[in-house]
Structure 1
């Protein structure tokens, strides 16, 4: 049995993982999906990591998973807890000393998104969240997800340099969502190669794939644990 530590993305809460959590628990695993501190502009990435570490307690056999902005917190947690595996799901891969605010320009995200939008008729970056984020999520479930949005991350967390001096010495996997209309797939393939030196595993789904394809996400995570 493994303990899966599921870290949500920006504006989100641990609920975003509830369907994946159910899949993992049905297979006999322990799962933690804490709400990171929100609505507090003073909280830092270290504070977010502290909250997860406290929730984990003395559990072992850890698989730490970070979705989207959660990729800034997940490596901190994996490093401190000597996790067995670190997984980034459509994750914003940081580099030492780079702040989340700097990540967008440093990675060339805007150009990549604009180029992809030319090819898909404006689906990428669309102002309608049902188009850009939740296009494969049942409408009622998407509405519930948006009703839970809050102020996270804080301005302090976004402005401060990522605190690790190097990527943690933990086996790392990257999962790319092939129908992601927020982070274009080609952009993420390049980022994973440049920053982690790995070829991503790919899953058919939107940026919010944990809601749209929970069984498939759980299948991948269990595979990494074993």
Structure 2
């Protein structure tokens, strides 16, 4: 039995995985959606990027999980990628869902030059947090009005330090067994960093014809991709 550990991106908690988790459990697997410190029901908990890495590592150790498929969406790819190398032989595979990937010494904002000023301005204006997106920001991502309303109503401000602190990797990320899920409505090509990693024999690319939030727009299709990774 595979243990799926699911980590959503900025502003979102474990609740974002409800539909995907139900599909994985129905297939007979162990599923653990994680809420990172400082968001959702963990609002008010101080958090930097390494706090989020430790959140994931601690969840796996506390439950003594083995054969772990570790899944990171969007921002969460950065702490998930670091956690994946720290859990050693507990890891079966890491899956990056339209996500950022950690670069040793780099941060979320340093990997997003065109958005850095916007994120840093939001952090400054919102008392150290990145303010959630508005409904209009989700247009063109394959979401209906009800799905957008659900995301917006459940989102909470995201701790700014997690976006500006550098990642720490002990070895090349390309050495890990990994799958990258590219959501095509968010851009047809992966980032340069991901494209380079996909040259590794340990990495594979899967394309999904939906937007950046597939756990809402295409939960069954995303679950099927994850199930394929545990075979």
2:136 counterpart residue number:
128
CA distance in structure 1 between the partners assigned to 2:65 and 2:45 by the alignment: 30
Structure 1 stretches lacking a partner, 5+ long: 111-125
Q: Does 1:62 find its partner at 2:68? A: yes
Q: Does 1:149 find its partner at 2:155? A: yes
Which deviates more, 58-67 or 75-84? Answer: 75-84
Per-residue CA deviations over 1:46-71 (Å, capped at 9, x if unaligned) read 21122222222201110001000010
1:36 counterpart residue number:
36
Specify which of 55, 60, 69 is matched with residue 51 of structure 1.
Answer: 55
1:116 counterpart residue number:
none
By how many angstroms is 1:148 displaced?
1.1
By how many angstroms is 1:137 displaced?
2.7
- Cα distance, 1:192–1:199 mapped onto 2, change above 3 Å: farther
1:194 counterpart residue number:
196
Higher strand share: 2
Structure 2 SS opposite 1:10 = coil
CA distance in structure 1 between the partners assigned to 2:110 and 2:46 by the alignment: 19
By how many angstroms is 1:6 displaced?
0.5
CA distance in structure 2 between the partners assigned to 1:164 and 1:41 by the alignment: 25
- Cα distance, 1:80–1:51 mapped onto 2, change above 3 Å: same
Paired residues, what number? 203
By how many angstroms is 1:42 displaced?
4.4
CA distance in structure 2 between the partners assigned to 1:30 and 1:41 by the alignment: 27
Larger relative contact order (Cα-Cα within 8 Å, sequence gap ≥ 6): 1
By how many angstroms is 1:18 displaced?
1.0
- Cα distance, 1:213–1:25 mapped onto 2, change above 3 Å: same
Contact 1:93–1:195 (CA<8 Å) still a contact in 2? no
Contact 2:135–2:148 (CA<8 Å) still a contact in 1? no
RMSD of aligned Cα (Å)? 2.4
Contact 1:84–1:171 (CA<8 Å) still a contact in 2? yes
- Cα distance, 1:22–1:191 mapped onto 2, change above 3 Å: same
Structure 1 SS opposite 2:157 = coil
| TM-score normalised per structure 2 | 0.79
| TM-score normalised per structure 1 | 0.81
Contact 2:82–2:102 (CA<8 Å) still a contact in 1? no
CA distance in structure 2 between the partners assigned to 1:45 and 1:96 by the alignment: 13
2:107 counterpart residue number:
99
CA distance in structure 1 between the partners assigned to 2:191 and 2:28 by the alignment: 32
1:115 counterpart residue number:
none
- Cα distance, 1:41–1:21 mapped onto 2, change above 3 Å: closer
CA distance in structure 1 between the partners assigned to 2:11 and 2:100 by the alignment: 14
